[in-house]
Chains A and B, each alone.
Chain A
Amino acid sequence: MTEQELIACLIKGNENAFKTVVDTYKNMVYNTVLGFVQNMEDAEDVTQDVFIKVYENIGRFKQQCKLSTWIYRISITQAADFIRHKKRKKRAGFLSGLFGLNNELLHDPPDFIHPGVLTENKERSAILFKAINQLPEKQKTAFMLQKMQDLSQQKIAEIMELNEGAVESLLMRAKGNLKKLLINYYSSEYEK
């Protein structure tokens, strides 16, 4: 079945076509989302949301790009929305905690250790993920897609709807910022 046929079946609401899409792209979506949300349970929830969005909005897909590119875009948007929602909830929780409205225990999540990282790199990757979270959103997206998904600059440009030059610049700035953050981190660590 070609991609066009698959999309046509999906538009008609064909269950098998939807199952094919889920089975084909689930690992891609899950790994992309996991890099952003940095929690395995949350990543699975967001992955489900992504496929529900795909099912609901397939009629709006103009087929000007590949289906995988469109699904990547939805994954990034959903993950970013989830992070924003979580931050808002945390802020609201902090305020309500101040006024004693609830007794929910609020704490920062522990450092994220990606299960796919080699054992000897686990500690370093946790430090890197912490630094990545401090990057501006576009730099973070470009860096994540390159490092986690091993995508080319051309594909990243297609996903982010930018030109290749802009992506290259984003990646350069992301690496520069990460270097600065990591230098600060290790300098302070060594001073201790």
Chain B
Amino acid sequence: MKNKQDIENEVQQTLNSVDSLQQLEANAFLHAKIANRMVSKQALTRITYNKLMVRLAAVLCLFICINGISFYVLKQKPNTANTKNYTGADAFANAYGLNNSLNSY
């Protein structure tokens, strides 16, 4: 087992181990690589943008279709506002066909 002084020395040497660090050279073709990456990034952004636009257009079409169908369906239905004012006498007349203009002389 080593003593405290040995450990201190080791620690100091370890701390100094990167003192004479040699600076490395970056890739010589770095600019070309960056340019290439920027082009592909732009293309990717364009594709993503186009995809987003297609999806938005599809959602908009769906929304318009749903609205159109709803409008058509609601227009076909009898007006519930008129049925609201039905009285008991009207219901009776309806049941016995008394309000049919063909049968009234």
Contact = CB atoms under 8 A, between A and B. Distances in A.
A117 B7 contact: no
B41 interface: yes
Interface in B11-34: 11, 13-15, 17-27, 30-31, 33-34
B63 to A, nearest CB: 35
A190 B34 contact: no
State the majority secondary structure of interface residues on A.
helix
Contacts of A124: 13-14, 17
A116 B25 contact: no
B75 interface: no
B17 A31 contact: no
Given A51-B34, A52-B34, A55-B38, A115 B24 contact: yes
Interface in A139-192: 147-148, 175, 178-179, 182-183, 186-187, 190-191
Contacts of A48: 30, 33-34, 37
B38 A52 contact: yes
A2 interface: no
B84 interface: no
Contact of B24 (A30, A51, A182, A190): A30
B10 to A, nearest CB: 5
Nearest to B13: A124
Nearest to B22: A116
Interface in B43-62: none
B1 interface: yes
A157 B18 CA distance: 21
B32 to A, nearest CB: 9
Which of B2, B22, B30 has most A Cβ within 10 Å?
Answer: B30
A29 B1 CA distance: 43
B21 A117 contact: yes
Contacts of B13: 124
Nearest to A128: B14
A47 B30 contact: yes
Contacts of B25: 27
A117 B17 contact: yes
Given A52-B34, A114-B18, A118-B20, 18 more contacts: A22-B34, A23-B31, A26-B30, A31-B23, A31-B24, A44-B26, A52-B41, A117-B22, A125-B17, A128-B14, A131-B14, A147-B19, A148-B21, A179-B11, A186-B7, A190-B2, A190-B6, A191-B1
Interface of B: 1-2, 6-8, 10-11, 13-15, 17-27, 30-31, 33-34, 37-38, 41
